[in-house]
Amino acid sequence: MKNLLAGAAIALMGLTQTATADGHANYPERPIMMMVSYGAGGATDFQARIVTMTSGNEDALGMPIAILNKPGAGGRVGWNWLAGQAEADGYTLGAYNVPHFIAQSIKGGVEYSTASFEPIANWGADPAVLVVGKDSEFNTLQNVVDFAKANPGKLTTSGAGLFVGHHIAALQMEKAGDMKMAYIPTKGGGAAAMKAVIAGDVMAGINNLSDAFRAAQAGNVKILAVADLERNAFLPDVPTMMESGLAVDNASVNFRGVMVPKGTPQGIIDKLAATVPTMFENSRVAGKMKAGGSPMHVMNRDEVLAMWAARQETLKELLAGL
Q: Which is nearer to another protein, 187 or 316 (CB)?
A: 187
- Residues at the interface with another protein (CB under 8 A): 30-31, 33, 39-42, 45-46, 49-50, 53, 66, 68-70, 72-74, 76-77, 80-81, 84-85, 91, 104, 107, 109, 153-156, 161-163, 182, 184-188, 191-192, 194-196, 198-202, 214-215, 217-220, 288, 290-293
The one-character DSSP state at 209 is H
Contact at 8 Å (CB) between 248 and 227?
Answer: yes
- ∠14-19-21 over CA atoms, to 5°? 90
Tell which residue, 158, 144, 37, 162, has the closest CA to residue 108.
162
Q: How far is the CB of 129 from another protein (least distance, A)?
A: 15
Q: How far is the CB of 158 from another protein (least distance, A)?
A: 9
Q: Which is nearer to another protein, 50 or 98 (CB)?
A: 50
Q: Which is nearer to another protein, 26 or 217 (CB)?
A: 217
Q: How far is the CB of 74 from another protein (least distance, A)?
A: 6
Q: How far is the CB of 176 from another protein (least distance, A)?
A: 20
| Whole-number Å distance between alpha carbons of 152 and 59 | 56
The enclosing H or E element of 298 equals strand 296-299
Number of other CB atoms surrounding residue 310 within 10 Å: 12
Q: Which is nearer to another protein, 151 or 300 (CB)?
A: 151
Contact at 8 Å (CB) between 46 and 79?
Answer: no
Q: Which is nearer to another protein, 85 or 139 (CB)?
A: 85
Q: How far is the CB of 303 from another protein (least distance, A)?
A: 27
Tell which residue, 71, 130, 73, 129, has the closest CA to residue 95.
71
Q: Which is nearer to another protein, 196 or 258 (CB)?
A: 196
List, as one string, the DSSP characters of 134-154: TT-S--SHHHHHHHHHHSTT-
Q: How far is the CB of 190 from another protein (least distance, A)?
A: 10
